[in-house]
Chain A
Amino acid sequence: NAGVTQTPKFRILKIGQSMTLQCAQDMNHNYMYWYRQDPGMGLKLIYYSVGAGITDKGEVPNGYNVSRSTTEYFPLRLELAAPSQTSVYFCASSRDRLNIQYFGAGTRLSVL
């Protein structure tokens, strides 16, 4: 069982570049989430989605965009990368809002 799959695992960007972090889940979960984890810190919610076509902002959405055209995929877009976006990004999914979240292995992003 694949669960939640994130790609790429590592990426280095230059300031101002753009990229898309990919997230896919094969559990038919309605809810999907993007978090960032800064060194020595907990997880902060960037964006979440409660179903295909429905997304909403979390705690730290500035500088990011998301889309959810299908149940399986929930990509996170960085349009103009900044050093402050250097972090580890985790995608997660859950069956519904009360259910436990399953996490991907993370994407480690450095913006130089």
Chain B
Amino acid sequence: GQQLNQSPQSMFIQEGEDVSMNCTSSSIFNTWLWYKQDPGEGPVLLIALYKAGELTSNGRLTAQFGITRKDSFLNISASIPSDVGIYFCAGYYSGTYKYIFGTGTRLKVLA
């Protein structure tokens, strides 16, 4: 089945550093979502993007819908220990009833 390419797969960063991750696809998407999954929990929505070029923030998180509609980016500024978890992107394209999920970026923050 189709899945999005998400990178990096994992990263260790120092507390206070900025984090960047991205998601790419061979298909054009109409909607991009970014979720965070804490250990032992289900994914929780962070940001939703609906237009190409859209830039949306949620606190220290900023996500962008790529101009080509085939990619999306998530940035976390000034990371803190509670940012640890798995970040998933999900894309939706016209004509389907489902979102396609990326394989996740596992973030670990070193205090």
B33: nearest chain-A partner, CB-CB = A100
A42-B3, A60-B1, A98-B31 as given contacts; A103 in contact with B97, CB under 8 Å: no
Query: Are A90's CB and B1's CB within 8 A?
Result: no
A98-B92, A105-B41 as given contacts; A59 in contact with B48, CB under 8 Å: no
Interface size class of B (residues with CB under 8 A): 20 to 34
Shortest Cβ gap from B84 to chain A (Å):
16
Shortest Cβ gap from A47 to chain B (Å):
10
In the complex, what distance in Å separates the CA atom of A97 from the CA atom of B90? 13
A50-B97, A58-B98, A59-B1 as given contacts; A90 in contact with B103, CB under 8 Å: no
Query: Are A42's CB and B97's CB within 8 A?
Result: no
| A interface footprint on B34-59 (CB within 8 Å = 1, 0 otherwise) | 01000011111100100000000000
Cβ–Cβ < 8 Å partners of A98 in chain B:
30-31, 92
Interface residue? B102 (CB, 8 A): yes
A106: nearest chain-B partner, CB-CB = B42
In the complex, what distance in Å separates the CA atom of A97 from the CA atom of B33? 13
Query: Are B104's CB and A42's CB within 8 A?
Result: yes
Shortest Cβ gap from B83 to chain A (Å):
19
Interface residue? A74 (CB, 8 A): no
In the complex, what distance in Å separates the CA atom of A41 from the CA atom of B99? 16
The residue among B31, B45, B98 with the most chain A CB atoms within 10 A of its own CB is B98
| B interface footprint on A70-90 (CB within 8 Å = 1, 0 otherwise) | 000000000000000000001
Interface residue? A112 (CB, 8 A): no
Query: Are A48's CB and B42's CB within 8 A?
Result: no
Query: Are B99's CB and A101's CB within 8 A?
Result: yes
19 A-B pairs within 8 Å (CB atoms) are namely: A4-B42, A35-B101, A40-B103, A41-B104, A42-B6, A42-B102, A42-B104, A43-B43, A43-B88, A43-B101, A44-B101, A45-B98, A58-B98, A97-B92, A97-B96, A98-B30, A98-B31, A103-B35, A103-B44
